Amino acid sequence: MNKKLKNLVATIVIATSLTIGAGAIKVQAASNPIPQTTKLWCIKTNVTKDKIWTIKFNKPVDVNSLVNGVHVYDSNYNELPLTIYVADDKRSIQIQTDYKNGATYNLFIANVTSNGEALKPVWMLFKVKEAI
């Protein structure tokens, strides 16, 4: 095999490897954003697809901290968009989003503050019941 042909084959092999490698990175699932030290609050099963979670705090929370402090992740750790309702006394919130039947989710609350003090992070695992 002449030198030009060898170089062409080597270039094609390298380019193909880079292309395949780059594609593999794109389909990888997101890494788990929940620290292993986070307390597992509870595990719920047979949750309704339209469930609105009510979370009660023992003191009023800083409303602005809820935006970056309350998260729902699917089983691949993709974050879902949330609607958060805050009670007038700021001691409870309601969380609403769209769930899929039979899917598993993680509710993660961290970096929520009260009077500038961070509250303990909690994590809840739940599964939405299958469609009938």
Give residue limits of the domains in the chain: 1-30, 31-128
Give me the pLDDT at residue 37, please: 73
pLDDT tens for each residue of 45-97:
999 999 999 999 999 999 999 999 999 999 999 999 999 999 999 999 999 99
- Higher pLDDT: 6 or 84? It is 84
Do the beta carbons of residue 37 and residue 110 sit within 8 Å? Answer: no
Do the beta carbons of residue 48 and residue 81 sit within 8 Å? Answer: no
Q: Strand pairing partners for 85?
A: 94
Class of CATH domain 31-128 = mainly beta
pLDDT tens for each residue of 106-116:
999 999 999 99
Give me the pLDDT at residue 14, please: 39
Average pLDDT, the chain: 81
Q: Count of residues for the chain?
A: 132
